[in-house]
Amino acid sequence: MEEIKLLKTLKDLHCLPLFIWLMGLKYGCPVEDVITGLAIQCRGWKSAHFRPKRDAFLGLAPTTLSQVLVQHKRWAEGDFQIFLSKYCPFLYGFRRIKLGLQMGYCIYCLWAVNCIPTLIYAVIPSICLLHEISLFPSVFSFWFIPFAFVIALAYVVSLWESLYFGETLKAWWNEQRMWLYKRTTSYLFAFVDTILKLIGMNDLAFAITPKVADEESSKRYENGIMEFGSTSPMFVILSAVAMLNLFCLVGGIKQVIIYGVGSLGSFFLQFLLCGSLVVINFPIFEASFFRNDKGCIPINTTLLSVALIIVAYFISIL
């Protein structure tokens, strides 16, 4: 209580530098708000959910996909740096905050690591479908039920939460799309850059996210059209994953036509996963082949992604 009274007094007296020093604001990290919150809570401060009727804060969010991915890369890098430092919630928060809160922080601190299982699920089952390798239980197997239950429950709960808080069905679907895009690009680059920095092979730079868009870009954003435009390694990965799943889905359908519908049972979940990834990536196909505005995917990015798919295919058949 004495600490709180002192801080209030300093704030009222406009002693901002001393107030910040006593509060323990942390710098030198791309996500200073996360590490500062962890440090303050480890000193005994408690969080409170404050949601006034009038908006407490207003901000300007990125409007292009490139800006969003760069911003999330910076956040994922900073969070992963925290996890690998002395401020790791399990180490710094040991006996200071509850285990549940430590795990809550780690959900964000391990964003970058999530790129690994996501890429595995987005690539391996589709390639195995193309080569007639079954990875999941058949629809005629008892073990199909747990898989179907988990998949259905996860998406039903996610959809219900979005609709309950006022989101539209389209907004929920776009969130599923961004969930995939962030994990396969932003988190991947954040993971690689952080590991390279850890072993001394790379120096991380603070990436500033531009939030100013031209008039045409703003119109496309308002109309719900995804903005690509620039040439980026992240777009190469997104295009490659999309093209790979489209190629594997066509190959899988060809096999069903040849061997009959009966073969679909053993590969149903792989067809479902591969088909879902194709539908989710529809904006990428549209931007690669059907759009000619400034927000489309550059032709060199599309050609490079196709080349990567061809290389991956020949590697898989060796």
pLDDT tens string 201-240:
766 555 555 555 566 777 777 777 787 877 788 999 999 9
pLDDT digits (tens, 9 = 90+) for 60-86: 777 788 888 999 999 999 999 999 999
In angstroms, the CA 27 to CA 120 distance is 35
Determine contact, residues 122/180, Cβ cutoff 8 Å: yes
Q: Which of 10-19, 33-42, 308-317 has the lowest mean pLDDT?
A: 10-19
For residue 281, the model assigns a pLDDT of 93
Q: Look at 44 and 144; give whichever has higher pLDDT.
A: 144
Question: Residue 261, Cβ neighbours under 10 Å: how many?
Answer: 8
Q: What is the mean pLDDT of the chain?
A: 84
Which one of 2-6, 25-29, 215-219, 275-279 scores highest in mean pLDDT?
275-279
Domain boundaries, the chain: 2-47+59-109, 112-316
